[in-house]
Amino acid sequence: MPTYSLSLSRKPTQDKKILETFEQNKHKLKDHTKDLKPDAELQTLFADEGQGNAGDFRSQECLELLRQSDIVVTNPPFSLFREYVATLIESQKKFLIISNTNAIPYKEIAKLITLNKLWLGGVLSFAEFKVPSDYEERATRFRIDENGQKWRSFGNICWMTNLEHKRRNELLDTIYTYEKYKDKYPKYDNYNAINVDKVAEIPMDYEGVMGVPITFLGKHNPKQFEVVGILKPQDRVVNGKRIYARILIRKAKTQKE
């Protein structure tokens, strides 16, 4: 049986030092962790009467399994993503799911982000996964590591979660201020906000609404900035020129003087 696994790390291999430190300190977690054991036999899932929907996340049985769970970790069907996320939110469970970055601007997802009910994990865009040895070699997004293991990668994948994580508590800092570099930040033609082309160029002193690249969400600390919404496609125009998707943010109230 080939083994498949997914690594959402920015690095092709795990840092040896981090793994060693983790092994050395694992005993400190002992009281908080327990080994997961596989079920003695796989559970059979039954369809709702006359529905033929066994295993469907919307079936009564799967909803009951969801009710019994503590944390949901999965790679859901992207074609039903909105409905899947709505079911998770309604369940009020903690979750960690894989998403396509294209789903971030969906109205329903953007709304959950502004409400602080869903956010992105620390890693945005790059995801690499092992593939079996008989997997056909590809010209792009493919590599074989020093142990002969084949890997493929995506450039448009992210985690979506409602679990806290470290990066979400770190402060973003840039060398830019609106005061000094005003000309760099024109307003949108039909929307009252300034446009920022790079996350590293977000002015630290601007009090109004700013449109920033979607990658900002990988660095979002809600104590520093609040997400106001997504700039509508028709408003993504600066001096007559169309620009890429933008998240609308402003300084969080606690950060304002």
Ligand X SMILES: C[S@@+](CC[C@H](N)C(=O)[O-])C[C@H]1O[C@@H](n2cnc3c(N)ncnc32)[C@H](O)[C@@H]1O
List the structure tokens of 186: 């024109």
What phi and psi values does residue 217 have, to the nearest 5 degrees? -60, -20
Closest CB to ligand X among residues 32, 67: 67
Residue 200: which of 175, 225, 168 has the closest Cα? 175
Residue 119: which of 165, 73, 70 has the closest Cα? 165
Closest CB to ligand X among residues 97, 249: 97
Closest CB to ligand X among residues 51, 133: 51
Q: Which residues pair with 125 in a beta bridge?
A: 157
Within positions 186 to 245, which residues make up the interface with ligand X, using CB under 6 A?
none
Closest CB to ligand X among residues 8, 209: 8
* Min dist. Cβ of residue 251 to ligand X (A): 37
The sign of the dihedral angle between the CA atoms of 216, 217, 219, 222 is: positive
Cα 68 off chain centre by: 25
Among 12, 77, 208, 233, binds ligand X (CB under 6 A): 77
Closest CB to ligand X among residues 75, 102: 75
Contacts with ligand X by CB under 6 A: the residue count is 9
Residue 94: which of 66, 75, 113, 125 has the closest Cα? 66
Within positions 80 to 119, which residues make up the interface with ligand X, using CB under 6 A?
80
Closest CB to ligand X among residues 154, 197: 154
Residue 66: is it exposed, middle or buried by C-beta count within 10 angstroms (0-12/13-18/19+)?
middle
* Min dist. Cβ of residue 62 to ligand X (A): 7
Residue 46: which of 22, 30, 67, 62 has the closest Cα? 62
Which range, of 35-43, 77-85, 87-95, 144-152, touches ligand X by CB under 6 A? 77-85
Closest CB to ligand X among residues 45, 115: 45
Within positions 46 to 75, which residues make up the interface with ligand X, using CB under 6 A?
55-57, 74-75
* Min dist. Cβ of residue 195 to ligand X (A): 34
Distance CA 87, CA 63 (A): 9
Distance CA 57, CA 151 (A): 29
> Which contacts qualify for 87-91: CB closer than 8 Å, 24 or more apart?
87/57, 87/58, 87/63, 89/117, 89/118, 91/66, 91/67
Binding footprint of ligand X on the chain (CB under 6 A): 55-57, 74-78, 80
